Chains A and B, each alone.
Chain A
Amino acid sequence: MSTKHGRMGWLFASPYLIYALVFFLIPLVWSLFLSFTDWNLISPTFTFVGLENYMEAFRSPGVQSAFFVTFKFLAVFVPLVVASSIIVALIVQGLPKFKGLFLIGFFLPYLASGVVSSFIVKGILSYNSPVNEFLRNSLGLDINWLGSPFAALFVVAMIIAWKFTGYYALILTSGFESIGTEIYEAAMIDGVTPWQRFWKITFPLLYPALFTVLILSIGVTFGIFTEVYQLTGGGPNFATNTWQMEIFTRAFSNLQAGYASAIAIIASVVTFISVFIIRKLLEMWGKRNGWS
């Protein structure tokens, strides 16, 4: 019985085993191997250069910027998307009718391809667009959206926040639904202000769902590529140069396959450690306040 089960089990699991071998283990070893060579993606020969790629990487402005840009994105994108999804969830939550319909509507941006949303935003922010005309003529602001470092980072963060807001609001709404109405009624009787109600009741009870949203959005931050590639190419002056962008440029534009592999390994280690630390901090913060 158990042997029969055993064979069937392995058979059913075999797609994963094959996939893990071909598309995970082999590339992983290959990546490590490449990172110690000076291979240029094309030529038949290469030499081992030891740790030179790694030394080079730590010194290069591209890698340094990627490291800091990721944290800048964390600081801008995560609060942006969390705040907007909480607002959407709070508003939709109180609707007795059509709640599902609204949630579906807010989810629609998630379906946008990064190429499309980048193109639309480029149009909305072009020099003669209504938005910029308004800013120039009414407020005297002439913003070069993709030409100044902070504005470019902000625009990219905005596009991605727009994409994920509805999806995260959906997660938060299910968190809201686990909060009973009785607790609010009790609070009403006690004469709690709306502000207190949010911080003392809603927020702590929402924390598990919020934790999910935070983890998801942090994961998204470490994988930003399409919008940056499409709109800024990592510029201006490396201001939006993410890990993915740096690796892509090095490997497939400059053909430095060995060097790019070293950067990919550094990026993976940095990502893994950062996400791990942030996660632990969030868990501690939640526990200390007794939310989770």
Chain B
Amino acid sequence: MGGAKKKGLWFRYLIAVILLLIMIYPYIYMVLNSFADWDQVDKKLFPTEYSLKSYEWLLGGGEAAIPRPWLNAFFNSFIVSGASTLLMMVSAVMVAYALAKMPFKGRDTINNFILFQMFFPAIILLIPTFLLIQRIGMYDSYWGLILPKAMSLWAVFMYTNFFKAIPETFIEAAKLDGASELQIMYKIVLPMSKSITTVIFLFLFMERWTELLWDMLVAKSDNMLTLNVLLSQMFGPYGGYPGPLYAASVLLTLPIIIIFLLFAKKFQEGMQFTLK
């Protein structure tokens, strides 16, 4: 290690840190403004006066004509995203296991059809899916928010590729011991797929948590709104009160960041695998 090389390295780290700060600055801005005194919101890069007023206002209703159900929306987001993600994971594992490890007649047809559907622009389905949900009485209900998003073809695709790489010998051995397909899937295949499961879970949860278009169409009544939809609706009416909206943004962003950071290490391991 020569002196020049060391210097170059320091410089590299400096650039990396500056770049990272620029990239996460919008988050910093959001958090600072949610705690900022109201007459400083959106006026300074770094506010100087702080208070909890925005949070009190948001969760207590403040002087708003109609207090909005922020906390309720927060729980709705959790229930909907959690249930949706769980269903997507379970269905993906089952279907992928069948496609990767169970030779049966018609498997290739299903496989090709999944690929066909994956490349199909989803926008075409929006209106009739909405009508379908309406006709079967799921409009403005948890089911309407969850069921159309209960399956992810991307997850099926990822799992299928991963399961294909698991050697048959493991499965053959378990079969000789008299294990059923379900047991093999649950006790052998799934424990081997921990890191990729983390990656798939995080991506699916993130995507579901930040979905706006579908939730906006289906959730109508106050007690059904998800956090994203409520925040979106309040854009205009709360325009004069940016502080509380920053607080709501923190409420919407913090959980997902915490979840991501909890799994970050596993996520990176899994990503290494998925990108190869």
A residues whose Cβ falls under 8 Å from a Cβ of B: 2, 5-13, 15-17, 19-20, 22-24, 26-28, 30-31, 34, 87-88, 91-92, 94-96, 100, 102-117, 119-121, 123-124, 126, 128-130, 162, 165-166, 170-171, 174-175, 209, 212, 222-223, 225-226, 229-230, 243-244, 247-248, 251-252, 257, 260-261, 264-265, 267-268, 271-272
Contact A264 B126, CB 8 Å, known A17-B110, A115-B231, A120-B26: yes
Q: A101 CA to B179 CA in the complex, in Å?
A: 42
Once bound together, how far apart are the Cα atoms of A149 and B36, in whole Å? Answer: 32
**Chain B residues, CB < 8 A from A2:** 103-105
29 A-B residue pairings within 8 Å (CB atoms)? A8-B98, A8-B181, A13-B99, A20-B113, A23-B129, A24-B120, A24-B125, A28-B125, A87-B19, A104-B264, A105-B24, A106-B20, A108-B260, A109-B24, A110-B206, A111-B260, A112-B26, A113-B209, A114-B212, A115-B212, A115-B228, A119-B235, A119-B249, A123-B33, A128-B42, A162-B26, A243-B123, A247-B123, A264-B124
Binds A, one of B49-57, B63-71, B148-156, B165-173: B148-156
Give CA–CA (A267, B123) in the complex, Å. Answer: 8
* Given A95-B16, A123-B29, A123-B33: A106 touches B132 (CB 8 Å cut-off): no
The answer to whether A130 touches B91 (Cβ under 8 A) is no
> 7 closest pairs, A vs B, by CB?
A9-B104, A12-B98, A27-B128, A30-B128, A113-B210, A268-B121, A15-B91
B213 within 8 A of A: yes
State the majority secondary structure of interface residues on B: helix
Contacts of A117 in B (CB 8 A): 26
Q: Does B252 contact A (CB under 8 A)?
A: yes
CB pair A5 B121 closer than 8 Å: no
Chain B residues with CB under 8 A of A129: 42-43
With both beta carbons as reference points, the residue of chain A lying nearest to B18 in the complex is identified as A91
Given A103-B268, A244-B123, A272-B121: A15 and B212 interface contact (C-beta under 8 Å): no
Interchain CB contact (< 8 A) of A170 among B94, B232, B235, B271: B271
Whether A9 contacts B98 in the complex (CB less than 8 A), given A170-B271, A225-B212, A264-B126, comes out as yes
| CB within 8 Å of A: which B77-120 residues | 90-91, 94-95, 97-99, 102-107, 110, 113-114, 117, 119-120
The answer to whether B212 and A229 have CB atoms under 8 Å apart is yes
- Is B176 part of the contact surface with A, judged by Cβ < 8 Å? no
**Of A24, A109, A115, which is within 8 A of B117 by CB?**
A24
Residues of B within 8 A of A162 (CB): 23, 26
CB <8 Å contact, A108 and B257: yes
Q: Which residues of A contact B120 (CB under 8 A)?
A: 24, 268, 272
B119 touches A34 (CB 8 A): no
- Which residue of chain B lies nearest to A175 when distances are taken between CB atoms in the complex? B275
CA–CA, A173 to B133, complex, Å?
42
**What per-residue 1/0 map shows which CB atoms of B238-264 lie under 8 Å from chain A?**
000010011001001100110011001
Name B residues whose Cβ lies closer than 8 Å to a Cβ of A. 9, 12-13, 15-16, 19-20, 23-24, 26-27, 29-30, 33, 41-45, 90-91, 94-95, 97-99, 102-107, 110, 113-114, 117, 119-129, 131-132, 147-148, 150-151, 156, 181, 206, 209-210, 212-213, 217, 228, 231-232, 235, 242, 245-246, 249, 252-253, 256-257, 260-261, 264-265, 267-268, 271-272, 275-276
